[in-house]
């Protein structure tokens, strides 16, 4: 009945926050089962899981599949991982929408210097549940962190914790607010609670939505065409910075990508994005934002450099 995305820098208290939230939910009146999905579930070692982009992408894929398998109308799933990439949170949001459930983000807002100190304190201890990162990995993760922004649908509602200032407890304001949001009974007073609505697969496509999907289809096709064309011009040379026009991010791919792979990526993207298109608002709103999202998606999926 809900998906909660925990988000924060490495060593910012996320696992503690997830545990407190789970406890608080279990003590609430909600009858839903609560489950935490995290890296320990897969016995993944942090230094290895974040050793390079391939390993990291793999990790995200594993967690996302588990979320996909687990979300349902009668449980509350808490994803406890960095979830530090905006596009990734967006994908998790899409999964919640496809299931037609509530969604929220719980953010541990801790300054880098404190996270760094906590990481150093944990190093070499190997205490259960308090796992440290290698320094180099830690710095890289900190640098690439994309802070949640409540103006994004996929970062909203956003509940913020300040573990460094106030600690984390079952009774922390943000935890209580999240519990209240997640378990609130729906009545006339609960208009602020958003149940994400499922999608193309389960609903009839109305005209405007069909139109948006058509736009999405066309925009992604244009991007794919630009890549194919640039690749054929480059004759297998490196392809950094294929430009699609002003205001759009460059496409950065360090290897040649065949048409079947491009088609597959485009299909997956369409599937993920199509699920968001039936909220009554248009999906990525216009061709440019569709292109921007698709390029971000491609850059992430095709990036093999650290
Ligand atoms: C990435 O890291 C994993 C785990 O440490 C390792 O097995 C793999 O060989 C690495 N891949 C690259 C391309 O460095
Ligand atoms: C990762 O490496 C750091 C130092 O290199 C070490 O202190 C830490 O315990 C390692 N973490 C794991 C989970 O092995
Ligand atoms: C693409 O690569 C260039 C340098 O090759 C870099 O400056 C730019 O930030 C990269 N863009 C993206 C979206 O990764």
Per-residue pLDDT for 25 more than 80? yes
Question: CA 1 to CA 74: how far, in whole Å?
Answer: 5
State which ligand 1 atom lies nearest to the alpha carbon of 47.
5
**pLDDT at site 205:** 38
Question: CA 181 to CA 193: how far, in whole Å?
Answer: 7
State which ligand 2 atom lies nearest to the alpha carbon of 131.
13
Question: CA 16 to CA 163: how far, in whole Å?
Answer: 9
**pLDDT at site 26:** 93
CA 134 to ligand 2 center in whole angstroms? 5
- Write the residue with the smallest CA distance to atom 7 of ligand 3: 241
Dump pLDDT digits (tens) for 107-164. 999 999 999 999 999 887 765 556 899 999 999 999 999 999 999 989 999 999 999 9
What residue ranges line ligand 2, CB within 6 angstroms?
A: 45-47, 123-124, 126, 131-134
Backbone phi, then psi, for 205, in 5-degree steps? -85, 120
Residues of the chain with CATH 3.40.50.300: 2-202
- 282's tokens: 């248009």
Q: How far apart are the first and last CA of the chain?
A: 37
* Residue from 38, 126, 140 whose mutation best tests the ligand 2 pocket (most atoms within 8 A of CB): 126
- Average pLDDT, integer, range 247-267: 85
Q: Which residue has the higher pLDDT, 218 or 60?
A: 60
Query: If we measure between CA atoms, which residue out of 216, 219, 210, 244 comes closest to residue 230?
Result: 244
**pLDDT at site 204:** 37
pTM of the model: 0.67
Q: CATH number for the 2-202 domain, one of 3.40.250.10, 3.40.50.740, 3.40.50.300, 3.30.1310.10? A: 3.40.50.300
**pLDDT at site 255:** 77
CA 256 to ligand 3 center in whole angstroms? 17
State which ligand 3 atom lies nearest to the alpha carbon of 296.
13
Q: Which of 43-47, 92-96, 129-133, 290-294 has the highest mean pLDDT?
A: 92-96
- 69's tokens: 């398998």
Q: Helix (H, G, I), strand (E, B), or coil: what is residue 108?
A: strand
């Amino acid at each position: 009945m809900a998906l909660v995305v925990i988000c924060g820098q490495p060593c910012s208290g996320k696992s503690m926050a997830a545990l407190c939230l789970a406890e608080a939910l279990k003590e609430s009146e909600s009858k839903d089962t609560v489950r935490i999905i995290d890296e320990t579930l897969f016995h993944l070692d942090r230094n290895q899981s974040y050793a390079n982009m391939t390993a990291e992408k793999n990790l995200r894929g594993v967690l996302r599949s588990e979320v996909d398998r687990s979300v349902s109308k009668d449980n509350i799933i808490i994803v406890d991982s960095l979830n530090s990439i905006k596009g990734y949170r967006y994908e998790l949001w899409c999964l919640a929408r496809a299931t037609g459930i509530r969604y929220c983000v719980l953010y541990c807002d801790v300054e880098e210097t404190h996270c760094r100190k906590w990481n150093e304190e944990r190093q070499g201890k190997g205490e259960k549940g308090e796992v440290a990162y290698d320094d180099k990995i830690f710095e890289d993760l900190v640098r690439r962190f994309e802070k949640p922004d409540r103006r994004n649908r996929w970062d909203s509602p956003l509940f913020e914790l300040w573990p460094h200032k106030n600690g984390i407890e079952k009774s922390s304001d943000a935890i209580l607010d999240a519990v209240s949001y997640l378990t609130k009974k729906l009545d006339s007073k609960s208009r602020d609670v958003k149940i994400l609505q499922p999608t193309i697969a389960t609903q009839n496509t109305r005209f405007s939505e069909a139109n948006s999907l058509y736009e999405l289809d066309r925009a992604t096709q244009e991007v794919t065409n630009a890549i194919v064309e640039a690749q054929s011009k480059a004759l297998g040379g490196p392809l950094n910075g294929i430009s699609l026009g002003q205001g759009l991010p460059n496409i950065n791919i360090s290897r040649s990508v065949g048409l079947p792979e491009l088609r597959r990526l485009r299909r997956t993207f369409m599937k993920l994005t199509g699920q968001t298109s039936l909220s009554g608002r248009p999906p990525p709103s216009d061709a440019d934002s569709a292109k921007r999202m698709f390029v971000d998606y491609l850059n992430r999926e095709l990036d093999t450099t650290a």
